[in-house]
Structures are given as structure tokens and as C-alpha cells.
Structure 1
Amino acid sequence: MPFPEVDADPGVRRQVLADAPELMVVAFRFAAGAEGKPHNHPHVQSTFVQSGRFRFTVAGETRELGPGDSLVVPPDAVHGCTCLEAGTLIDNFTPRRDDFL
């Protein structure tokens, strides 16, 4: 059963969809113009764009992604995004992000 949605950043809502110690699935819902501020963490992260358009920067490399696109963020890589068109990202983290519980 999914967890409730919570505010993550201005214009960004986060909802844990499933979790186990080895893996966590999280939906991030962005308003247009909202940002996932640059950050890093020790987890491997995969991101799938369910809807919307996003400009991602991962380890200094920037690219634009839309529905159906995905990327992988290596452990400890500085990454962030700007939402160009409102949408939803589905992120997977391994191991689980205990700070999201």
C-alpha cells in the first residue's frame, strides 16, 4: 500500500509507492517550473518519466527527457532537474531511502 503524498520541495510532491530494504519505488509529481535541487546520495537511482518534460543534470551532463525516457544516477553523483512541463517521475532507489520513510 502506498504511503501518503508529502511536500518534497516547492511544487514537488513525493509518494513512496513500495519499499523493501533492498529497493524503494517513489513517485515525484512536479508542477511546471519546480526544481529537484542538486543533491547526491549513496543510492543507485533510476528515473522513469511517466509524464511531463524535464531538464536533468547528472554529474555535470544536462539532457532533456520526456514521457517514456529514463536515466540512471550512479551513487554519489550530483544530480537535479527542472520541470519544463508538469509531470510525474517514477524513481527507484537501491538500497531503500530510509530518509523517505
Structure 2
Amino acid sequence: MGETTDTAGEWVTVDAQTRRRILAHTPEMMVVEVEFQPGGVGAEHSHPHLQSSYVKSGTFTYTIAGKTQTLTEGDGVVVPANARHSAETATGGSLIDVFTPAREDFLPA
């Protein structure tokens, strides 16, 4: 197994209402905190990684493969690999996302 980062990485601005930081990773798995301001949107997208999302704070409307659900603090969801998905929050809040394998596109250059 590859080396694991021991401390959280630097915050990376995704857009005006969203930022993320890598909390830990190996080549096999990555843990990322994503922080949203009120009205923040994670636009619909897909990727080949299996993903789980845990709501650390706030309330999110999460859509996975056309099915929408409301998630609040303490809730979690699994996003299958390649599934189209999005998230938005009126309240603002934070998600803890876990990806397997790691999102190499999130690693610093």
C-alpha cells in the first residue's frame, strides 16, 4: 500500500462558494473535505471512482442517477462509479467525501 498523508492539505478554491482539501490519501483511497457556502452547488458530473459522502454539517439536496434526496448532518450516501450526481445546499455546510481509488486529479501538480 502507498504512503498516507498525515495532515490535511491546503484548501483549494473550486468556485466562489466551494472549497476542498485532502484530509488523507493513498493510491487506493482518498478522504476529502468539501466546504460549501449557502447556495453552493456541486454541479452534475460523473467519475470512475466509487464515492461515499458524509454530511458533516448543513443540509444538502443530493441527486444520484436522477434520484433526489435530502441529506442532513450525520447522513451518508454512496455514489456508484460513473453515476451522474450533484449536490446543492441552501444552508451551506461541509461534506466528507471518500473516493476509491484516489482522485489523482485532486493532487497538487
User: What band does the TM-score fall into relative to the shorter chain?
Assistant: over 0.9
**What are structure 1's unaligned runs of at least 5 residues?**
none
Match of 2:23 in 1: 17
Query: Is 1:84 the equivalent of 2:99?
Result: no
1:29-87 CA deviation, whole Å, 9 max, x = no partner? 00010100000000000000000000010000001100000000000000011112111
**In structure 2, which of residues 93, 102, 105 is the aligned counterpart of residue 99 of structure 1?**
105
State the alpha-carbon separation in 1 of the partners of residues 15 and 101 from structure 2.
22
Match of 2:4 in 1: none
Q: Identity of paired residues, percent?
A: 47
**What are structure 2's unaligned runs of at least 5 residues?**
1-6
State the alpha-carbon separation in 2 of the partners of residues 66 and 9 from structure 1.
23
Could you say what the CA RMSD is over the residues aligned between the two structures, in angstroms? 0.6
For these two proteins, the number of residue pairs brought into alignment is: 101
If each structure's strand is expressed as a fraction of its own residues, which one has the higher value?
1
Larger radius of gyration: 2
- Please give the TM-score of this superposition, normalised by the length of structure 1: 0.98
